[in-house]
Structure 1
Amino acid sequence: MMTSANDDRLVTIAELMDSAGRDAQFTELDPFGERHGCWERTLHRENGGLRRYVSLAITPDDDSPELSVIAGAEDDRRRRRIDLGTIRLEGSDSSGWPADSIRRLLVSALQMAQQIEAVQLDDDRRSAS
Structure 2
Amino acid sequence: MSVVASVFVGLAALLHVYIFWMESIAWSRPEVWKRFSVADQATADVTRPMAYNQGFYNLFLALGAGLGLVLWWTGHETAGRTLVLFATGSMVAAATVLLASGRHYRRAALTQGTLPLLGFVLFLLAG
Give the structure with the larger strand fraction.
1
Q: Which has the higher helix share?
A: 2
Greater RCO between the two (CA within 8 Å, min separation 6)?
Answer: 2
